[in-house]
Chain A
Amino acid sequence: MTDVTTGPRRTAGGPGDRVPAPAAVPAPPARRPARRRSLPWSVRLLLLPFVLFFVATFVVPIVYSLWTSLFSVTSGGGLGLSKSETVFVGLENFARVAQSDAFWTGMGRVLLYGLVQVPFMTVFALVLALVLDALMARVKKLFQLVYFLPYAVPGVVAALVWAYLYVPQLSPVVQLLERLGAPSDVFLQQDALLLSIANIATWSWTGYNMIIILAGLQAIPRDQFEAARLDGAGELRIAWSIKIPSVAGAIGLAVLMSIIGTVQLFNEPTILRTISNNIDSQYTPMMMGYNAVSSDPGFSSAIALSMALVTGVLVFAYYRLSTRLSR
């Protein structure tokens, strides 16, 4: 609009022209003062749709769940002939959540699950990434593809396949273990269930996390390793002192997303419930919230908000812990 580049004007308009401008244009003018004026309407038109959709599907639901959590639906009794009434109950729904044994049992269960699954999966992904990064390039591509493959399998399908692999009549794995003396419900007995669920999640997400970490590892300039090797550092030392610190951010982010996912655990236990009586409809907080949706909407909203609150506390604690550790 105003000051176009100096020098002969190149045909920069062509869409095919992707020559990096800074290299081609002599002395790019020092960072042009940003156009801080208000946006032309046509530019707003590009931003607005997303913002509207975002508000409708993120902001409004959160506000609306705060609102619904303050009400309770009382059925007038009888066979649904009398009208049900919605009454304002203040924070009563939250009090019910706080006093609900089922909620805290479920929450304790998912936290215990997370305490095992998240570290195990993260370390597994990290070790896979480190070994792949250090090993020969030829097989790297193949292994990478194999580990990433479960990402292409929908979570529900993965859970169904594993569920069948836990069923004694179907599963060659169980049959093998039985021959070694394990009970036939080895994967589905009460004490083993959380580990069986953790296995499904680990199978689904390790490769995904491994790819993120591997991408971080491959962005490290290789000459750093060369320098360390000349100083006499072995591969393990290089991994520990150079590689892992360089991808700490990526690992931290992966753990963060896993923590958020853990509190909402739903798909795997819901699928396993179809083959095991040891999982009830309130096995996890999310299952509990889902089951109350139509019968008790205010309570359901309060559960969702309480879950978010617990998630927030965990994320905050994790953040404090990781900043302290990195200092």
Chain B
Amino acid sequence: MSAATAPTTSARTAPRTTPRPDAAPRFTWRSVPPVAFLTISAVYFLLPLWWLVVSSTKSNSSLQNSNGFWFDAPQILENLQRTFTYDGGMFPRWVLNSILYSGGAALLGTLLAVSAGYVLGKFHFRGKGLVFGGILAGVLVPNALLTIPLYFLASAVGLVNSPWAVIVPTCVSPFGVYLARIYAEQSIPDELLEAARVDGAGELRTFFTIALKVLAPATVTIFLFVFVSSWNNFLLPLMMLNSEELKPVTLGLYGWQTYRGAASYDIVLTGALVAIVPMAVLFFTLQRHLRTGLAAGSVKG
């Protein structure tokens, strides 16, 4: 009996639920606590950013003497000008450095990870499990364990205080290889590769003209991950770089805060806001790709 009713019920409910599986339930008082919880959480996450935006429009004195959560004689342009020209115009250099290091690491890292992931996903060879296992284990290696000896190695080969000492270690993304491999396995049909070979394309050409196009979404995701992790990097450049002209923006702001203290609150805050802008732009335009990458990580677990 129950076996007979089950299909009918589901058949009856199916048309209602299938078109919009997430369809909103009607308003009920019971939904008030969860929505309140979400809203309070949102305030917590937004508050520091709101304070940052408001504060970056203030002078050093009104930073300390006005309501912190609201504007007071906004002077964002003066602050920007002061930040960009302070210390003989160091700040724009730092931003440019960050863009160069992150862009360079992301480009190089994406190419390395995607090509390796493609080979691991679409070819079979002896020792493949070992290679992939070794790379995956890299995800778990604590950064600290690597950064300290990387500094010794860099100083041994004379790379300390060179951009390469920052770019090369950050561009290596084991997680990127993992993503590229899954994506290659799932989205490049063997037949496509066979057909390319039949048409006489070499392996390299097949990769660059065909596989890379199919892998484009994974490529964007990996690029973003490497870019973000490089932009956020602090310990590695702190160790590797000591001239002011080579610092990325995170390190530069830290230096201002350390050595200028209270006198530089305004420029540090304005600089902090500027340092977030490139990230925010990437984030809003490409966040779908970021989330895909994170989702792939979660499915694995």
Within 8 A of A (CB), among B31-51: 31, 34-35, 37-38, 41-42, 44-46, 48-49, 51
Contact B45 A203 (CB under 8 A): yes
Tally of contact residues, A, Cβ under 8 A:
124
Residue of B nearest to A215 (CB): B295
Determine if A90 is an interface residue (Cβ-Cβ < 8 Å). Answer: no
Contact B46 A146 (CB under 8 A): yes
Within 8 A of B (CB), among A10-53: 12-13, 15, 17-18, 20-22, 25, 32, 34-40, 42-43, 45-47, 49-51, 53
Hey, which chain A residues are within 8 Å of B23, CB to CB? 137
> C-beta contact mask, A216-244 vs B, less than 8 Å → 1, else 0?
10010011001100100000000000000
Chain A at the B interface: SS class: helix
How far in angstroms is the closest Cβ of chain B from A149?
6
Determine if A158 is an interface residue (Cβ-Cβ < 8 Å). Answer: yes
> C-beta contact mask, B140-153 vs A, less than 8 Å → 1, else 0?
11111111111111
Known A62-B146, A154-B232; contact A15-B209, beta-carbon cutoff 8 A = yes
Hey, which chain A residues are within 8 Å of B147, CB to CB? 304
> C-beta contact mask, B100-126 vs A, less than 8 Å → 1, else 0?
000000000001110110111001111
Contact B169 A57 (CB under 8 A): yes
A128 to B63, CA, bound (A): 34
Tally of contact residues, B, Cβ under 8 A:
121
Contact A267 B115 (CB under 8 A): no
Known: A50-B177, A215-B294. 10 other contacts (CB 8 A): A18-B214, A58-B141, A62-B141, A124-B41, A138-B24, A140-B22, A212-B297, A215-B299, A247-B298, A270-B234
* A contact set with B: CB distance below 8 Å: 1, 4-5, 9, 12-13, 15, 17-18, 20-22, 25, 32, 34-40, 42-43, 45-47, 49-51, 53-54, 56-58, 60-62, 64-65, 68, 124, 127-128, 131-132, 134-140, 143, 145-158, 160-165, 169-173, 175, 203, 206-208, 211-213, 215-216, 219, 222-223, 226-227, 230, 247-253, 256, 260, 263-264, 266-267, 270-271, 274, 286, 289-290, 293, 297, 300-301, 303-305, 307-308, 311, 315
A to B CB contacts below 8 Å, 23 in the list: A4-B194, A9-B195, A35-B123, A38-B125, A40-B203, A43-B203, A47-B115, A47-B120, A47-B131, A49-B111, A58-B172, A62-B141, A131-B34, A151-B283, A155-B234, A161-B49, A169-B64, A170-B64, A171-B68, A203-B44, A250-B301, A256-B140, A266-B234
* B contact set with A: CB distance below 8 Å: 9-10, 13, 17, 20-25, 31, 34-35, 37-38, 41-42, 44-46, 48-49, 51-52, 55, 63-64, 67-69, 111-113, 115-116, 118-120, 123-126, 131, 134-135, 138, 140-153, 168-169, 171-172, 174, 177, 187, 189-192, 194-199, 201-204, 207, 209-210, 213-214, 228, 231-232, 234-235, 238-239, 250-251, 253-254, 257-258, 261-262, 265, 268-269, 272, 275-276, 279-280, 282-283, 287, 290-291, 294-295, 297-301
